[in-house]
Amino acid sequence: MCKDHNNRKGESLAHGQKEHNSDHSKWSRRNFLYSLGVMGGGTVTLAGLPVSSLGMSSLSAAGGAANGDGRILVMIRLKGGNDGLNTIIPTFDYGTYAANRPTIAVEQSDITQLTDKFGIPSIMDPLKGLWDTGQMKVVNSVGYEDPNLSHFESIDIWSSGTRSNDPARSGWLGRTYVNQYPDYLENPSPIPPAVKIGGPDSILFFDDNGADLGFNVGNAAEIDAIGDSGTVFSLDVIDNECYYGDQVEFLRTMANSTYRYVDVISEAFQQGSNAVEYSGELGEQLSIVSRMIKGNLGTQLYLVTLNGFDTHVNQANSHRNLMNDLSESIATFYEDLGIDGLDNDVLTMTFSEFGRRVQQNASDGTDHGTAAPVLLFGPGLNGEGILGDDPDLSDLDNSGNLKYGTDFRSLYSSILEYWLCIDPSAVDDILGEAYPRMDIGLQCSPISSTSAPVQQTIAHSAYQSQNLLNIKVQLNRPDQIKVDLYTILGQHLAVVHNGYVSAGPHTFNTPVGQYGKIPVFYRITNGQTQLTGKVVLR
């Protein structure tokens, strides 16, 4: 018999105006799907509506990561607003720090020094190994101008890189993908552009239409179940005797048919295996990321989430536990990847919607604040260090919050250019303006858009004529030169020329019709000089 799905408190004014208004605020499209069992926290979920938005192509498909040689970016969201002062402790001004936090300050005897100015709680000691081997950096005082202290708005600002109030605004990594592969809708890839684990509530991978390019994964058991059944949602428990049941069946059938990435996700997960044991909420999520990387999924972008950082009450113990989960999980993750020699390919970055206030509140917690440190991990950082402005606990804003020193979009820009090897002009387009780059130790390889010092005069340009790319090179003296063609992520496409040429102008060409409409780099080298140019194929 069909169940009564309409009898919910607040559906009618008869239940009272307050209940009715509350019901309206809660009964959104997303909650409707939750009620049908199509979406749910901690499960494999629909990435976005409409369902046709699923099945996009991948950054890594054209960048070589499908063969295991692509760079990977793992974003760790510290959900709720992480207390930066109890994460990277300003021991250079410990007196001011402790005076503002009489019951929640980390005791000096419980601090492990990273430098002569900053330390971490000893509960975070699992990270000390990464620090000591040059695989950890800290960027202090990260934030943005005129900060918003709403959880929802601020995390959207961090995820989008913009202050837009458009509810369908895009994510900065979603725009990165679309910028590099503008034909992603017409030419979908067999691997997902991005993977989100631990919850779908982030716009980080949204495109300009508000469609989520990220595949949402709940936990390992659900991946196994999907692999066994070949579907995402079961149709066996649906009551077909009423209109409600018909709609549930329709939505679940559509979800199953459009989940094009189920097979490749499951296959990569089964092929990969963890060489070490993980623990904790974040550890489980990173264990899944590790297995997908080891299983050669090919996806370059991952998002995992550690919840519980909205520490208004009794912060000391809860934050300590969160820091332990974070530290042990990251250390285990890199140990696991390192056993298979994959750690060099992975950069991990933490972010949170905001920091916490300098002074603790009356409930032994901290309220919403502003600037906070961002943590970076991976051998690609080429050394440890603490960057950015030191937090000044004596020079606060009118609300008693820290003033930011580094715009978070400068950090994003640096990662896009120096880790994912995106052309500098494209980086500026993605983030809406040119933000100063930071020297965080990353080096783009094999392509850099920055020319090396020129020891002879080499002029160059390129143009396309039908299906041929023509590269014009003029030298002021004879030389041995090589001309190569690459995608902007460093995948080698063709050797256009390799040999001795005389002084003067030369034109070399190569067919490009098979590549589609994509931006490419050509590189000219002569053993001493390296020059690059960019062309967008038509």
End-to-end, the C-alpha distance of the chain in Å comes to 59
Question: b/e for 38-62, b at 16 or more Cβ within 10 A?
Answer: bbbeebbbbbbeebebbbbbbbbbb
Q: Which of 216, 215, 202 is nearest to 171 (CA)?
A: 202
In a domain, 258, yes or no: yes
What pLDDT score does 445 carry?
Answer: 60
What pLDDT score does 211 carry?
Answer: 79
Clarify whether residues 72 and 148 are in a common domain: yes
In a domain, 436, yes or no: no
Residue type, 201: D
Q: Which of 208, 213, 139, 92 is nearest to 442 (CA)?
A: 139
Clarify whether residues 367 and 505 are in a common domain: no
What pLDDT score does 475 carry?
Answer: 83
Model confidence at 62: pLDDT above 70: no
Clarify whether residues 240 and 358 are in a common domain: yes
What pLDDT score does 18 carry?
Answer: 58
What is the CATH number for 222?
3.40.720
Q: What is the mean pLDDT of residues 328-336?
A: 98
What pLDDT score does 447 carry?
Answer: 41
Model confidence at 50: pLDDT above 70: no
Question: Which residues on neighbouring strands pair with residue 462, listed in sequence order?
Answer: 471
Model confidence at 98: pLDDT above 70: yes
Compute CA distances 406 → 144, 312, 387, 400, whole Å.
7, 26, 9, 19
In a domain, 162, yes or no: yes
Clarify whether residues 277 and 146 are in a common domain: yes
Residue 63: pLDDT band with limits 50, 70, 90: very low
Long-range contacts of 251-258 (CB under 8 A, 24+ apart): 251/33, 251/36, 251/38, 252/36, 252/37, 252/38, 254/51, 255/38, 255/46, 255/51, 256/231, 256/232, 258/51, 258/52, 258/54, 258/55
What is the CATH number for 495?
2.60.40.10
In a domain, 440, yes or no: no
Query: From CA 440, how far away is CA 127, in angstroms rounded?
Result: 18
What pLDDT score does 16 carry?
Answer: 55
Q: Which of 46, 55, 52, 48 is nearest to 252 (CA)?
A: 46
Clarify whether residues 468 and 391 are in a common domain: no
Q: What is the pLDDT of residues 297-311, one digit of tens each?
A: 999 999 999 999 999
Whether the CB-CB separation of 103 and 316 falls below 8 Å is answered with: yes
Give the lowest-confidence range in 115-129, 184-198, 242-256: 242-256
| Strand stretches in 169-246, DSSP E | 194-197, 214-217
Clarify whether residues 85 and 200 are in a common domain: yes
Model confidence at 259: pLDDT above 50: yes
Find all residues with CB under 8 Å of 78, minimum gap 6, and list them: 306, 309, 322, 326, 350, 351, 352
Residue 186: pLDDT band with limits 50, 70, 90: low
What pLDDT score does 525 carry?
Answer: 86
Query: From CA 405, how far away is CA 145, in angstroms rounded?
Result: 10
What pLDDT score does 234 carry?
Answer: 53
Whether the CB-CB separation of 295 and 270 falls below 8 Å is answered with: yes
- Using CA of residue 73, residue 74, residue 78, residue 79, what is the dihedral sign? positive
Clarify whether residues 177 and 251 are in a common domain: yes
What pLDDT score does 58 carry?
Answer: 31
Clarify whether residues 336 and 220 are in a common domain: yes
Clarify whether residues 30 and 77 are in a common domain: no
Model confidence at 408: pLDDT above 90: yes
Model confidence at 529: pLDDT above 80: no
Query: From CA 529, how far away is CA 525, in angstroms rounded?
Result: 5
Residue 213: pLDDT band with limits 50, 70, 90: confident
Model confidence at 270: pLDDT above 90: no
In a domain, 445, yes or no: no
Q: Is the pTM of this model over 0.85?
A: no
Joined tokens for residue 272: 């990969």
Mean confidence (pLDDT) of the chain: 81
What pLDDT score does 490 carry?
Answer: 81
Joined tokens for residue 390: 């030191």
**Number of domains the chain contains:** 3
Domain end point (choices 365, 396, 431): 431
Clarify whether residues 406 and 484 are in a common domain: no
Query: From CA 202, how far away is CA 303, in angstroms rounded?
Result: 9
DSSP state string for 347-409: EEEEE-S--B-SS--TTSS--B---EEEEEESGGG-S-EEESPPP-TTS--TTS-PPP-EEHH
Clarify whether residues 109 and 244 are in a common domain: yes
In a domain, 442, yes or no: no
Clarify whether residues 10 and 69 are in a common domain: no
Residue 37: pLDDT band with limits 50, 70, 90: very low
Residue 239: pLDDT band with limits 50, 70, 90: low
Residue 47: pLDDT band with limits 50, 70, 90: very low
Model confidence at 384: pLDDT above 70: yes
Give the lowest-confidence range in 141-150, 159-168, 384-393, 463-472: 159-168
Domain end point (choices 393, 413, 431): 431
Model confidence at 201: pLDDT above 50: yes
Give the lowest-confidence range in 237-241, 316-320, 456-460, 518-522: 237-241
Q: Is the peptide bond prior to 505 cis by the omega test (within 30 degrees of 0)?
A: no
What pLDDT score does 32 carry?
Answer: 36
Strands 468-475 and 458-465: antiparallel
**DSSP, res 66:** G
Whether the CB-CB separation of 290 and 54 falls below 8 Å is answered with: no
Residue 214: pLDDT band with limits 50, 70, 90: confident
Query: From CA 48, how far away is CA 492, in angstroms rounded?
Result: 34
**DSSP, res 505:** E
Question: b/e for 243-255, b at 16 or more Cβ within 10 A?
Answer: ebbeebbebbebb
Q: What is the mean pLDDT of residues 254-262?
A: 53
Highest-scoring range by mean pLDDT, 218-222, 264-268, 434-438: 434-438
Give the lowest-confidence range in 144-148, 161-165, 250-254, 286-290: 250-254
Model confidence at 258: pLDDT above 50: no
Model confidence at 418: pLDDT above 70: yes
In a domain, 438, yes or no: no
In a domain, 307, yes or no: yes
The boundaries of the domain holding residue 478 are: 458-536
